[in-house]
Structure 1
Amino acid sequence: MHKLISRYIAETVRHLKAEERVEVEKELEANILDMLPENPSDNEVEQTLLSMGSPSSLAAKYRGSERHLIGPATYDTYVMVLKIVTLVVSLVTLVFTTLSFFLSPSGLSIFEMVAKALASIFSGASGAFLWVTITFALLDRYQVKTDIKEWNLPELRSLEEIPTKEIKKKDSIADLVGLSLFFLFLGFLYMNSDLLGIYTKDGEPIPLFIGTSLRPYLIGWMVTTTIAFFVAMLKMVRRRWTKPLLGFSATSDLLGVFYFFFIATRWQIYNPDALLFFNLAIEQWQIIIKAAAVVLLLLTLFSIGEDTYTTLKRTEPDESGKVPVR
């Protein structure tokens, strides 16, 4: 079967539910082959696929119904992300709430602890639902405004670029889980900054940070994490690298690195007693922080460079407009 037909079918069934894909794939392949002569030329294949409409519009016809808040093109991804984020948020909220009971005794009875834990889980899961739903609604609106393009020959040929420019689902899921955990950690640190400290057998815990100085910076860090989460969702929805997506991703990554460097060099947030515990002067601590920031920046630039190469170089059409053989 012609490679372009395979890509067209794969792109179409990607928008459908998993249990529908095999049957639709077989039906769609049979319909396309029936429309073509026995040994079709490349031009005949292209014209036939153009006449069928874009993969997203064809998939909508197979669905038979439209969803309004979250569009059909992103609904399956929305459900998957919602399940992942809700599960992660619920588990981490339960862990942090339980730790708070032991690290900061409040004199609550066991029933009050269970009730408080369940209330925290419900609150966290509700927040996750609201966060993910609003984000995907905005993504869907973004697609409506910018993603509806004329279904033409360049758009058809661009389907051939998907295999090498594809963003792996497991990478997107790992990003979403990691960012969710980090956001919850920041929230926990904002509410209980004194619990993050040095614990010894003898004596009171030594907090690593001065809570009143740290909290204002944590709000900004939550904002940058939310932006990164939005970009990770966008990657999962798009599933392949494009120049605009590369720009969003690189900007988000650099924003996170520079904000980390900004916070880490606010020397007034560190508890002097914690630095003395490690026998480190503030000057030595500054050198360690700056070195860590440089290493993190280099790793981020390397990752951005790899994504740039994937986006701009791999399967880039030559001057004739044909996609090179891989």
Structure 2
Amino acid sequence: MNLIKLYIQEVTRRLPDKTRNDIALELESTIYDMLPEDYSEEDVHRVLETLGNPAVLASKYNDKPMHLIGPKYYDAYITLLKLVLPIAAIISFIAIVAVKVFSPVDDGAVLETMLSIMGQGIGNTFNVLIHTFFWFTVTFVIAERVDGIKDNSPVSSGFKPWSPEDLKHSIYVPKYKKIKSFELSCGLVWTAMWGTTYFYANHLLGIYENGENGLRMVTPAFNQDVLLSFWPLIVLLIGAEIALAIYKLINKQWTYKLATFFSIHQIASLVILVIILTHANLFTPEFLNQMGDIFTATPTRIENSLIWGTITIFVAFAGWGIFDVYKRATIKTGINK
């Protein structure tokens, strides 16, 4: 029973969403029609071998031909390409941000630097994706051309001919439990953005006015010396977020261990946030006075509102995040959805 459902899963996961259910029911009916009444595991093996490699069978159901790379390597090519492209994109973007962050920035030009980071980051990432796609494709084309094996049966991502035994190594991961590449990319981009903002907060966060030369900051919100005094904690926090992203990339699904790592990171982040926000002289007096004039409140009330408002929002998001990842971790992997 397990091998049958795993085989159907391996076929239908390569098909468009709108046709998966119908083809799954059709394929299940076909398999059971081919089996005797009191079938054994050997009978199941025989039937699945008759039906052949799931990638080949899927190509017969699918309207899209497997011609970008020859049928023998196409499935392995697509599987590995989906893994390599996000990694290349993330590394290229992080590299651009790192170069910009550790480069000297003229006073008043940090906003332009942030826009430059985004522009160059997107452009550089796009170029890296194109080059990665090109050379990755060329590598597979060459591999197929120099392959002296006459057997044209498709190979798996492990570059071995498929057999029903491969199904025993396949684990069904529910959609909500999976960690998507997009989720990893957004997480690392967010880390790069808030890290850059923290170290240049006195140039980016504050009160702006629209003058003759456009929008410019007139009053910084934070005392940068106070922020920089906590730089070891911030670097440690950034390193933990990168380590968490790598752990997600390796694990590919939420587990109790990964959810616990995530929870520890969230709690540590909250503690560091509270320590920084409650430090004396974090906000500049000029900023608090101007905000007090705008909202008709005392500087002390403005400061308390900013501190506890920020902490409340962070606690709410951190609490929801911890609840969500543990909920996703409780979903069991296996055959049944």
In the superposition, the TM-score normalised over structure 1's length comes to 0.54
Tell me the equivalent position of 1:233: 246
CA-CA distance at 1:302 after TM superposition: 1.6
1:212 to 206, 209, 225: 225
Tell me the equivalent position of 2:234: 221
Tell me the equivalent position of 1:87: 93
Matches of 2:239 and 2:305, distance apart in 1? 29
Matches of 1:309 and 1:184, distance apart in 2? 32
Tell me the equivalent position of 1:103: 108
Q: Percent identity of the aligned residues?
A: 15
Call closer, same or farther: CA 1:324–1:41 in 2, change over 3 Å.
Answer: same
Call closer, same or farther: CA 1:241–1:45 in 2, change over 3 Å.
Answer: farther
Call closer, same or farther: CA 1:195–1:179 in 2, change over 3 Å.
Answer: closer
Could you give the per-residue CA deviations for residues 201-260 of structure 1, whole angstroms, max 9, x where no partner exists?
A: 499932222222221123312321220121122212221111211111121122222322
Matches of 2:100 and 2:247, distance apart in 1? 28
SS state of the match for residue 315, structure 1?
coil
For structure 2, the 5+ residue unaligned runs are: 15-30, 49-71, 74-78, 111-115, 125-164, 293-297
Call closer, same or farther: CA 1:226–1:91 in 2, change over 3 Å.
Answer: closer
2:264 to 228, 240, 251: 251
Letter in 2 for 1:252: H
Tell me the equivalent position of 2:7: 5
CA-CA distance at 1:103 after TM superposition: 1.6
Matches of 1:244 and 1:79, distance apart in 2? 27
Call closer, same or farther: CA 1:181–1:78 in 2, change over 3 Å.
Answer: farther
Call closer, same or farther: CA 1:289–1:165 in 2, change over 3 Å.
Answer: same
Trace 1:1-326 onto structure 2 (pairs within 5 A): 2-5=4-7, 41=40, 77=83, 80-87=86-93, 89-90=95-96, 100-101=105-106, 103=108, 156=168, 159-189=171-201, 193=202, 196-200=205-209, 201=211, 205-279=218-292, 280-312=298-330, 314-315=331-332, 325-326=336-337
Matches of 2:323 and 2:103, distance apart in 1? 40
Matches of 1:184 and 1:282, distance apart in 2? 28
Call closer, same or farther: CA 1:156–1:301 in 2, change over 3 Å.
Answer: farther
CA-CA distance at 1:271 after TM superposition: 0.8
For structure 1, the 5+ residue unaligned runs are: 14-32, 50-61, 64-72, 106-116, 126-152, 317-322
Matches of 1:220 and 1:97, distance apart in 2? 21
Call closer, same or farther: CA 1:212–1:315 in 2, change over 3 Å.
Answer: closer
SS state of the match for residue 253, structure 2?
coil
Matches of 1:307 and 1:95, distance apart in 2? 31
SS state of the match for residue 205, structure 1?
strand
Matches of 2:260 and 2:170, distance apart in 1? 19
Matches of 1:38 and 1:291, distance apart in 2? 65
SS state of the match for residue 304, structure 1?
helix
Matches of 1:196 and 1:302, distance apart in 2? 27
Alpha-carbon contact 1:167-1:235 (below 8 Å) kept: yes
Alpha-carbon contact 1:77-1:237 (below 8 Å) kept: no
SS state of the match for residue 254, structure 2?
coil
Tell me the equivalent position of 2:129: none
Matches of 1:79 and 1:295, distance apart in 2? 34
Alignment length (residue pairs): 228
Tell me the equivalent position of 2:52: none
Matches of 1:305 and 1:93, distance apart in 2? 36
Tell me the equivalent position of 2:23: none
Alpha-carbon contact 1:5-1:45 (below 8 Å) kept: no
Call closer, same or farther: CA 1:245–1:260 in 2, change over 3 Å.
Answer: same
Structure number with larger C-alpha Rg: 2
Matches of 2:246 and 2:318, distance apart in 1? 19
